[in-house]
Amino acid sequence: MNTLKYKGYIGSVAYSEPDKVFFGKIEGIEGLVNYEGESVQELTAAFHEAVDDYLIFCEEHDWKPQKSYTGAFNVRIAPDTHRDIANLAAEAGISINAFVKRALAEAVKHPWVEPGSLVTGYSAEQAEPTMLMEPEGPHYGTRDTFQLTLPQKDVAFAKDLAKRMGWELHK
């Protein structure tokens, strides 16, 4: 989804073919504030003006500008994914809730990877990080083993990564 950002607010962007106009609304607020423009520049200016006007209105009426959230929401996932999460949480010695909270906190700290990119923070134009480059020497592609010690909080992630990479794990 295309969005605009200004003063910590996000605005949606859509286009109406019959009206030949871009339009959107400020997301994450109590109430509804719309804006529109015939060009991207007009839409951006209208969004900025809408945010500024909304903040003034909130101040004048002693309203909290941000929408309040309870901290609880339901997520529907595939049963297999639910099972995998339960297993990973059990292996990490934490509840499913704690596992999901940790995963979501990580996702917020590291926004979604762009399609086609393998590692957050690296683009196709940049060199791959050392950990993804082929190791030098005669051992690449062999079945050599190594021991890795991880903090308990990272064990579930490492197991999931190993599973996805097709690596064998031994205790």
Q: Give the tens place of pLDDT for each residue, 89-136.
A: 888 888 998 898 888 888 888 765 444 433 333 334 433 333 434 444
Q: Would you state the pLDDT for residue 72? A: 85
pTM for this model (two decimals)? 0.53
- Rounded to whole angstroms, the Cα distance separating 84 from 70 reads 27
Q: What residues does each domain of the chain span?
A: 3-60, 79-165
Position 145 scores a pLDDT of 59
CB within 8 Å of 160: residues ≥ 6 apart: 88
CA distance 145 to 170: 10
